[in-house]
Amino acid sequence: MVLSRTQRLLRAFAAWAVVMLFVFPIYYWVTLSIKLDREIFSIPPKVFSFETSAKSYEEVFGISLGFEEGLAVLPGGGDFYMTPRLWDSIVIAVCSTVLAIVIATLAAYALSRMRFRGQHHFVFWILSTRMMPPVAVAIPMFFIYRDFGLLDTYQGVILIHALMNMPLAVLLLKSFFDDIPKEIDEAALIDGASRFLIFRKLVLPMAVGGIAATAVLCFIFSWTEFLFVLTLTQTGLKTVPVVSSTFVTSTGTAWGNMAALGTAAILPAFVFILLVQKNLVRGLTLGSVKQ
């Protein structure tokens, strides 16, 4: 539609205003982590001008950010020392992503290239696991893990996160493989190459971008997952989203520390999501809406 200059300006103004409304809570949360405690609780709330402090980060990550002393590692070990929990989150997210991608890539290639009876039902079965309420998996899984000694272990959480990401990974990768012309495979088949060789040497290199985008989304969903970690871990390990609810104590909530942990947890995710902008919508819709 053709808009006049004024209309375009108005539109730009409205668009910025709306987006800022969505960005504002993030800004407010991030600034919380560098505010002094009494500034957090001031009425009226201080939004744009406040006294800053690195105390929250020092307590949460056990590092000193003071400018006089320079960067130093503090002993760490207070109630809010969270570096090990950040490490748990990274291990779980990375391992479950790798596992999900390896399994899903193989399956997605087959679903994209081969035809078999009941294929439609098979795809729908994968899709329907995406519909299961996590609580309906978490409850039986708790008892199964208890019997197999998998409660409170990395392996247990990694496996369940890989399962959770499986429908997304398979369907999304299938849509990326579908984009690569089948004629390439057929030509190589005639030349005598095996399916696995074609997969490894021809199709995989061409799908690297799509696989990377899928991996980023799997990472983010594992990174932000709450219910499974809450249910299947006790004291041995915890991820950032679950541990953030423990900042609520009987003597009040350590909002500054929680904001520091939250900020540290969302910054890597922000970087990742900006890397996959091009394929984001495709990922969010499990490969069905292309940009």
Partner 1 sequence: MVTRALRAPRFMVSDHPLPWLLPLIVILVVFAVYPLFYNIYLSFHEFAPRKREIVPVGFDNWAQLFADPRMWSAFYVTLFYTGVCLTIQLVLGMAIALLIDSDDPGFGFLRGLLTLTLVIPPAITGMMFLLMQDAQFGLITWMLQSLGILTQATPILATPSLALWGVILADVWQWTPFMVLIFVAGLRSLPRDPFESAMIDGANSWQIFRRITLPMMGKVIAIAVLIRGIDLFRMFDYVFVMTSGGPGTSTYTLSLYAWQQTFSFIKWGYGATLSLFALIVILVAANLFVAIFKVRW
Residues within window 184-243 making contact with partner 1, judged by CB under 8 A: 186-187, 189-190, 194-196, 220, 223-227, 230-231, 240-242
Least Å distance, CB 81 to partner 1, is 18
Q: Is 154 in the site for partner 1 (CB under 8 A)?
A: no
Angle of helix 134-148 relative to helix 154-179, nearest 10 degrees?
130
| Of 72 and 200, CB closest to partner 1 | 200
| Of 72 and 196, CB closest to partner 1 | 196
Least Å distance, CB 15 to partner 1, is 5
Q: Which of residues 73-112 bind partner 1 (CB under 8 A)?
A: 102-104, 106-107, 109-111
| Of 18 and 208, CB closest to partner 1 | 18
Least Å distance, CB 99 to partner 1, is 8
Least Å distance, CB 285 to partner 1, is 5
| Of 3 and 72, CB closest to partner 1 | 3
Q: Which of residues 106-145 bind partner 1 (CB under 8 A)?
A: 106-107, 109-111, 114, 116, 122-144
Length of the chain: 291
Query: Among the candidate windows 41-49, 57-65, 70-78, 206-214, which touches partner 1 by CB under 8 A?
Result: 41-49
| Contacting residue, 41, 78, 149, 208, with partner 1 by CB under 8 A | 41
Q: Is 176 in the site for partner 1 (CB under 8 A)?
A: no
